[in-house]
Amino acid sequence: MGSKKCQVCDEAQSKYKCPNCFIPFCSLVCFKKHKEIPCGKPEPEPESEPVSKEKLAPAPALHVEKPIYVDEPGEAVNQSQLDSIASSSEILEAIRNKELQKLIYNLDSSLDAENELDKAMEKEEFRILSEKFAHPWRTLTLYPGYCSTCHPTYKEHDDLQSKR
């Protein structure tokens, strides 16, 4: 990027800019001379056409694929389970909570996700939500239409576990 000429004396190369109007100047003498005339922040030039709502609409979020590491393959959920979770009215209602949104965002964008997960698990709302993901058989609304034989309720699951 090349230097601009001082717009006060129009002789030397500018080294500084006015903090108000950003006009380049070269020295204290030129700055004082410039300050004799009041200046202000430059206003942006008006656009020839009014800005439409389409232009103001936020850009869609970019989807970045992240590698997924699962300790045990049986812990991973399949696509139909993900679809059920995504369409669950309970989940959709829960994620309207601003605090939960912030926790999920911090967890998703963290370089130390394990530490962020530990922090998030300290919050009751997040623990309740994560239980719905971790143990889908406990929330029948996640999997409507499944029979209790294939996917027992929370109580039935605990009863089955105690018999083993």
- In this prediction, residue 66 carries a pLDDT of 63
CA 23/CA 35 separation, integer angstroms = 11
The tens digit of pLDDT for each residue in 37-88 reads 877 666 665 555 555 555 555 656 555 566 666 667 776 777 887 788 778 8
- In this prediction, residue 135 carries a pLDDT of 57
Give the global pTM: 0.40
- In this prediction, residue 55 carries a pLDDT of 56
The tens digit of pLDDT for each residue in 85-104 reads 778 888 888 888 898 888 88
- In this prediction, residue 47 carries a pLDDT of 55
**Owner of token pair 């030129």:** 30
Nearest to 143, CA basis, from 64, 81, 101, 92? 81
- Element of type H or E holding 17: strand 16-17
| Rounded to 5°, angle at Cα 116 from 111 and 122 | 180
- In this prediction, residue 149 carries a pLDDT of 45
Nearest to 31, CA basis, from 43, 39, 1, 2? 39
- In this prediction, residue 112 carries a pLDDT of 84
- In this prediction, residue 146 carries a pLDDT of 43
pLDDT at residue 36 tops 70: yes
- In this prediction, residue 142 carries a pLDDT of 41
